Chain A
Amino acid sequence: MGSGTKPARSLAAQERRFALALFVPALLVLLLTTTVPLVYLGWTSLQKLDMSMPWLSGFAGLGNYAKMGGDPRFWNSLVLTGVYTGTTVVLQVIIGLSLALLVLQIPKGQGLLRVAAILPIVLAPVVVGLFWRTLVLAPDFGLVDLVTRTVGLGSHNWLGDPQLALISVIAIHTWQWTPFAFLVLLATLATLPPDVYEAARLDRAGAWQRFWHITLPLIRPAIVMVVILRMMTALSAFAAIFAATGGGPGSATEILNLYAYRTSFTELNLGYGASLAMVLLSITMAISYLMFRLRRARS
């Protein structure tokens, strides 16, 4: 070793060959299973491809994209996507962080709470949607109605009324994924050095000040990470909404992801569905790019 450049170079070449032999198979699989299909998706989005009217199929150029401009259902889905993603992410972070801060103060039983938090996360979203549709939100017999009837607020059609349905699907998503924010933030808070708090306490900083000026800046990377991951999940949320409302009533809970799905597989208009999926793809990519840039600038 180190006796000359030649063996070192051949060693590096050997390492490179070995690395490529290990990495290239997975790379090829990813190219074939994700990137090639995406190119095909882009191509499909330029076609008129309606399975209910197959005789009209053909190249449409940017026709599908132009159609979106005058499609109120598209704009509605875009707004709903914003509302759904924004509200669920904010709720998850606020509730998750508050709970984590609270639980951290409890000397015993943290392990038990952690186990409880895992339960919603491991359940299949479609089962969660079904559970809520039947046992939790059904009029008259659901858990929520039992509570509202007991306290005198009366029975409501939680999934049948357009506004309540939107609130309901937001609640379902928040229920299932807040444990994620809670667990990640709890783990982060537990790693903070205790001496900074001691110093602050000696400075007679109040609890709120300590949180705002010490804790929050320290856990900001974790919060940003939670926000990124939760946004990705919310943008492509599907099964729970599909099982609970199917996107309805009407299109009251039809976020862009569901609109693209319904257009493609309920109305069988795969060309237009593909262009909607392309829009969702661009939004997802743009957001993750911005978030990563933001995070790298900070750190």
Chain B
Amino acid sequence: MTGRKPFRSLALAAVAGVGLAVWVFPVIWGLLTSFKTERDVLAYPPVWFFKPTLDNYREVIFGASSIMPNLWSSLVVSTSATFFTMLFAIPAAYALARLKYPAKRASGFYVLATQMLPPVGLIIPYYLALQKVGGLDTYSGLTLIYLTFSLPFAIWLMVSYFEDIPFEMEEAALLDRAGRLRTLWYVILPQVRGGIAVTTIFVFLNAWNEFMFAVVLGGNRVRPVTVAMFNFISVEQTQWAKVAAGAMLAMLPVILIGLFAQRHIVKGLTVGAVKGGGRR
């Protein structure tokens, strides 16, 4: 029994290693490709050792097909969507987590239901409405529709953080006759700083990665980087190295964010579902 154990754990590690390499390898391969010349990309058998070049990055940063304007678009849309989301989500989540008010359960369920809406059902009315008021290809139009998926998500994630604070703290503050608003601002919010940071990060990440809304409601002026990547491949069909360099640049922020927030990712992904619908 003891003699077989190291072998067993080695085999286990090997299987898990293969499984996980499948997740990492395509990304590593993309990273390598981004430093290749287009000739090295199409070499067969593929080359592992090659003279790395920065030409692809130079091209997607400074060249004719620069994605810098698109990174800027993504930054503006994602930041403004995140700002407005948090502005409305934090107070709403506090009420939902801590206070008594009429139809509270129904309203919580309503927030959850809006999170389930298929985006294609929203994009059609938004397109028609924004077209009428000249809101296509504007930052405000995109920001508005981004609220549809980020606000319900942020409310529910913040609820879970507000519920973690002990009741005693706000009771003590309230007994001291600090007003409710002051209690929220000076006592409660400092307690959920971490939760606010994590929620902000996830809202930003989801906005950054969004594609369908951006491709329909964006245009020549407002074109987030996800749309630019898509156009890249249609225009420059075979220039994989450039596509890879662009993709690496576009995904660098979210990869860094993911690594930074890795311990919170499970909570962020399952938000709402844990308690959803079954709340008392």
Contacts and interface: CB of A to CB of B under 8 A. Distances in A.
A116 B258 CA distance: 10
Chain B interface helix/strand/loop/mixed: helix
Chain A interface helix/strand/loop/mixed: helix
B235 interface: no
A208 B77 CA distance: 51
A296 B278 CA distance: 7
A232 B126 CA distance: 21
Interface string B92-111: 10111001111010010011
Interface residues of B, number: 95
A5 interface: no
A130 B96 CA distance: 40
A38 interface: yes
B117 A126 contact: no
Contacts of A284: 116-118
B159 to A, nearest CB: 11
Contacts of A20: 95, 101
A247 interface: no
Interface stretch (A28-36, A59-67, A197-205): A28-36
Interface stretch (A68-76, A160-168, A256-264): A256-264
A109 B129 CA distance: 52
Interface in A110-125: 113-125
A18 B180 contact: yes
Contacts of A14: 180
A223 to B, nearest CB: 12
B75 interface: no
A207 to B, nearest CB: 12
Contact of A19 (B89, B99, B125, B129): B99
Interface string A204-244: 00000000000000000000010011001001101100110
Contacts of A107: 9
**Chain A to chain B: the 8 pairs with minimum beta-carbon distance, closest first:** A26-B92, A122-B258, A19-B99, A124-B209, A19-B101, A22-B91, A239-B211, A37-B125
Interface stretch (B54-62, B65-73, B146-154, B190-198): B146-154
Contacts of B178: none
Interface residues of A, number: 92
18 contacts: A15-B101, A19-B95, A19-B101, A27-B107, A33-B145, A37-B125, A99-B19, A106-B13, A113-B20, A124-B210, A125-B209, A135-B33, A175-B22, A175-B23, A184-B269, A242-B212, A261-B212, A273-B124
A135 B92 contact: no
B233 A243 contact: yes
Given A22-B95, A118-B265, A126 B229 contact: yes
B269 A121 contact: yes
B12 A23 contact: no
Contact of B99 (A15, A44, A140, A261): A15
B152 A30 contact: yes
B7 interface: no
A14 B99 CA distance: 11
B248 to A, nearest CB: 9
Contacts of B121: 38, 41, 277-278, 280-281
A229 B107 contact: no
Contacts of B269: 121, 180, 183-184, 229
Contacts of A264: 120, 123-124, 127
A89 to B, nearest CB: 14
B203 interface: no
A135 B30 contact: yes
Contact of A38 (B16, B95, B125, B273): B125
A34 B118 contact: no
A215 B269 CA distance: 23
Contacts of B259: 115, 118
Given A38-B121, A102-B15, A281-B121, A126 B226 contact: yes
A250 to B, nearest CB: 19
Interface in A260-289: 260-261, 264-265, 270, 273-274, 277-278, 280-281, 284-285, 288
A123 B276 CA distance: 26
